[in-house]
Chains A and B, each alone.
Chain A
Amino acid sequence: MGCKCENNCADQKVQELIEIIDKHKGKKGALIPVLHDAQNLYGYLPLQVQKIISERMNIPLAEIYGVVTFYTQFSLNQKGKYQIRVCLGTACYVKGSGKIYEELKKELKLSGDGTTEDGLFSLESCRCIGACGLAPVIMINDDVYGELVPADVPDIIKKYRDRK
C-alpha cells in the first residue's frame, strides 16, 4: 500500500525523486533516464510523480505522459505481487481471450487494467506474448497458462490467493 503524503517515507521518496531529476536536468534527452530512475524508485509512474517531474524539468505534463504511454517499459499502475498479463493479440483474441479478460476483471473486482485493493494482483492486457500455439494465453509473473476457458479463471486465482 502507498503511503500518505504526510508520512515521512513519502517525503523521503520525493526527496530522492528530486535528486534524480537534478542529476539529469540540463542534459540532452534527460527525460527518459529520469523516468527510468523514477520508475525504479516508485515501481510505477503515477500522476503525482509525473507532475513533480513536469514542474521541476519545465516540461509540460502532457508531453511526459505521451512519452510514458508510448514506451511499454513504463507503467502507470502500481504492480501487484502477482502480475497478470492477458494476451489480447490477434490469435488469442480470436480464441476468446476477451472473455478471459472479462472473467479476470470480475474475479478481481477491477474495472479494467489496474491493481487490486490488497495489492496482491495487478491486471494488464497486452499484445502477443509469443505463445500463440497455446491461445488464449495469460501469464502470472513467470507462469504461463494456455488454452483457457473463462471457467478456469477462479481456480487459477485461488491458487495464488492461497499462497499469499
Chain B
Amino acid sequence: MSKMVTLTIDGIEVKAPEGSTVLEAAKLANIKIPTLCYLKGINEIGACRICVVDVGVKNLQASCVYPVAEGMKVITNSPKVREARRVTLELILSNHDRKCLTCVRSENCELQRLAKDLQVDDIRFEGKKNDYNIDDFSDSVVRDPNKCILCRRCTSVCKNIQTVSAIETNERGFDTIVASPFNISLKDTPCVNCGQCINVCPVGALREKDNIDKVWEAIADPDLHVVVQTAPAVRVAIGEEFGLPIGTRCTGKMVAALKRLGFDKVFDTDTAADLTIMEEGTELIERIKNGGKLPLITSCSPGWIKFIEHNYPDLLDNLSTCKSPQIMFGAILKTYYAEKMGIDPAKIFVVSVMPCTAKKFEVKRPELSATGYPDVDVSITTREAARMIKEAGIDFNSLPDENFDDPMGDASGAGVIFGATGGVMEAALRTVVDILTGKDNDDIEYKAVRGLDGIKVAEVKAGDLTLRAAVAHGLGNARKIMDQIRSGEADYHFVEIMACPGGCVNGGGQPIQPAAVRNEIDICAERAKAIYTEDENIQIRKSHKNERIMKLYEEFLEKPGSHKAHELLHTHYEERENYPEECCGNI
C-alpha cells in the first residue's frame, strides 16, 4: 500500500495515495474538474491548462499533472479559476475552424462539450486564424489541422503506444502544428493506418477517409450484386453509436440494419476467419514438420503488416502467407460464390464493414486481386456503417434480430474471437491441437492468451509437441517481440500480432468514446467480454468443424494449402521505405 496523504478540496477532506494528482484526488471526492488534453495512460502532459485549480501557490496549476501533498488546500471552483479556464478555452476556440454543423465529430466532440459545460457564450479574442491544407491523400486517415487543438494525444499514441512516430508537434508559437515531417502527406510516411490517433482525438482534426458515397453508389446501381461482410468486432461495438451500453452484442440488429440499407447479401467475415484458421493452421503444422521458418507470425492485421514491411523487412519470411479474413472472403465471393450463383465476378461488388481503418489501405493493395478485380471493393468502418444507418433513417434499437444470409453466413465461435487480442491464437490452437493429436479435444478455452497484458505467452501440449505461443497487441509490444525474434532470444512456434491495443475490438474504425468515458472504463475489456460471450453461445466452436468451410474445400478448394487455395487465399509482402526516396540532388 502506498502512503496516503490528506488534503482538502473545496473544503472537503480527501485521502489520496501519495504521488497521485490533484485531478485523481478530486475524483475520489466526486469533484469534477474539466479536462481537455488529458487521457489516462496515454496523454498526461499538462498541455492545455483547462484543468487549472488554485492550490495555494501564486499561479494556478494544471491539476492533471500537479501532485497532491499533505495539508494541501485546493480550490477547483472560484471566480479566478473559472475565468482562467474560460480564457484558455476562448483562445483555443479563436483559432479553431468552428464548423460544427458539418463536422463529423459534432455531438461527440470533447471541445464542443467543454464549450457548453464552461458556458462559453462569446469568443472575445478574434485574432489571426491558421489556414492549413487538409491532408486527405492517405487511403485511411484524413488530417485537418484547422480543427487541431494541439492536445498531442495523437502524437503520444503514435509514438509511445505504437512506436511509429508518423506525426509530431512541429514549429512553435502560433505556427505550432501537428503533422508529419516536411509536411509530407501521411500517405508517404511509415504511418501504418491503424487509426489509433483518430480514436484518441478529442475533436474532428483526425477522421477516417470516408467511403460511404461509393457504397451508396454501388447499392443504387442495378447492374451490381452488392455483398457486405462484417468483421467480428463490429457487432459488439456498433450499438454504442446508437446509445447502447459499451459491450452490447448487436449481431441480429446489425444484420437487420444492413439488409435494410439495400445490400443484396449480408455475410459474416467470421466464416472467412474459419477459413484463415484452416490455411494458417496447416501452414504452421507444415513449417513445424518440415523445418520451415519459425515462428510463424499471423498476418490478419493490415496495420501490423505495413509495420513489419517498414521495420522488420528481414523477418518477412516469418509472416504467414495467408491473406486477412476480409480479403480471403472477397476472393471466395468472386470465385466460388460467383460460380455457384451464376453471377459474373465483374458484377459482384464486395463491401466490408470493419473495426479498422488499415483495411481501407489493404483493399487497395494491387496484389490482393485474385480474379483480376480487387478482392474487396470498398471497406468502411463501424462508424461509417452507423452513419449510413442513421442517414437512412433506420431506428436501429427497435430492429428485430435477423440472421446472416446463406450460403456464407455460418461461422464457428473460433471465427468470432478473432476480434479480441489472443483470439486468432486461441482459434488456431483449437484446430491445430485437434489435428496434431487426432482427437476432438474438449479443453478449448485457452485463457492464458486472453486478457489485456501487452505480451502473453503460453505453452500448449499437443501430443509429443509442446507448442510455444506468444501474443502481442499494440505495435510497441509487437516491436518488443520482434526484437527478441531478430536477436534469436525467443524460440516461439507461433506468434499472434494485432496492431491495435486490445485487438480489433479497439480498432481505429470503432465508435469513439471520449476521455470522460475512457478514463473510467476499459472499453477493450468490455467489448472483449461480449466477444467471448458470443463464442460461448455458438454450438460449433472450432473452425474445422464448420460444415460450410468443409463443404467449400470439398466442392472447390480441395484441401487446405492446395494449389488453388494458394492462388486465391495467400499473398506475399515486400519491404517498404520509410520516406520515399526522391532525388537526392539537394544534398
Are A62 and B171 in contact (CB-based, < 8 A)? no
Are B585 and A62 in contact (CB-based, < 8 A)? no
Are A61 and B579 in contact (CB-based, < 8 A)? yes
Are B586 and A62 in contact (CB-based, < 8 A)? no
By a CB distance below 8 angstroms, the chain B residues around A63 are 159, 165, 168
Which residues between 1 and 49 of chain A lie within 8 Å of chain B, taking CB atoms? 2-5, 10, 13-14, 42, 46-49
Are A65 and B584 in contact (CB-based, < 8 A)? no
Which residues between 144 and 181 of chain B lie within 8 Å of chain A, taking CB atoms? 159, 164-173, 180-181
Contact of B57 with A by CB under 8 A: no
Are A2 and B172 in contact (CB-based, < 8 A)? no
Are B579 and A69 in contact (CB-based, < 8 A)? no
Are B586 and A64 in contact (CB-based, < 8 A)? no
Are A2 and B586 in contact (CB-based, < 8 A)? yes
Instruction: Tell whether A66 pairs with B169 under 8 Å between CB atoms, given A5-B587, A60-B159, A61-B181.
Output: yes
Residue on A nearest B172 in the bound complex, by CB: A70
* Min CB gap A4→B, angstroms: 5
Are A62 and B587 in contact (CB-based, < 8 A)? no
Are A62 and B584 in contact (CB-based, < 8 A)? no
By a CB distance below 8 angstroms, the chain A residues around B578 are 51, 54-55, 61
By a CB distance below 8 angstroms, the chain B residues around A5 are 583-585, 587
Are B168 and A14 in contact (CB-based, < 8 A)? no
Interface size class of chain B, counting residues whose CB lies under 8 Å from the partner chain: 20 to 34
By a CB distance below 8 angstroms, the chain B residues around A60 are 159, 164-165, 168, 190
| Cβ-neighbour of B168 out of A2, A10, A49, A66 (below 8 A) | A66
By a CB distance below 8 angstroms, the chain B residues around A42 are 587
Contact of B489 with A by CB under 8 A: no
Are B582 and A62 in contact (CB-based, < 8 A)? no
Instruction: Tell whether A49 pairs with B181 under 8 Å between CB atoms, given A61-B579, A62-B168, A65-B168.
Output: no
* Min CB gap A40→B, angstroms: 15
Are B170 and A69 in contact (CB-based, < 8 A)? yes
* Min CB gap A164→B, angstroms: 23
* Min CB gap A124→B, angstroms: 13
Contact of A50 with B by CB under 8 A: yes
Contact of A122 with B by CB under 8 A: no
Are A3 and B587 in contact (CB-based, < 8 A)? yes
Instruction: Tell whether A46 pairs with B587 under 8 Å between CB atoms, given A62-B168, A69-B170, A70-B171.
Output: yes
| Cβ-neighbour of A48 out of B167, B172, B189, B586 (below 8 A) | B586
Instruction: Tell whether A2 pairs with B579 under 8 Å between CB atoms, given A61-B181, A62-B168.
Output: no
Contact of B132 with A by CB under 8 A: no
Are A48 and B169 in contact (CB-based, < 8 A)? no
By a CB distance below 8 angstroms, the chain B residues around A64 are 181
A128, B586: Cα distance in complex, Å = 30
A73, B558: Cα distance in complex, Å = 67
> Beyond the given A2-B586, A3-B585, A127-B173, could you list 18 further A-B residue pairs with CB under 8 A, ordered by the A residue number?
A2-B585, A3-B587, A5-B583, A5-B584, A46-B586, A47-B579, A60-B164, A60-B168, A61-B165, A62-B165, A62-B168, A62-B180, A62-B189, A64-B181, A65-B168, A65-B170, A66-B169, A69-B172
8 A-B contacts (beta carbon < 8 Å): A2-B586, A5-B584, A5-B585, A47-B182, A48-B584, A50-B181, A51-B578, A62-B159
Residues of A in contact with B (beta carbons under 8 Å apart): 2-5, 10, 13-14, 42, 46-51, 54-55, 60-66, 69-70, 76, 78, 127
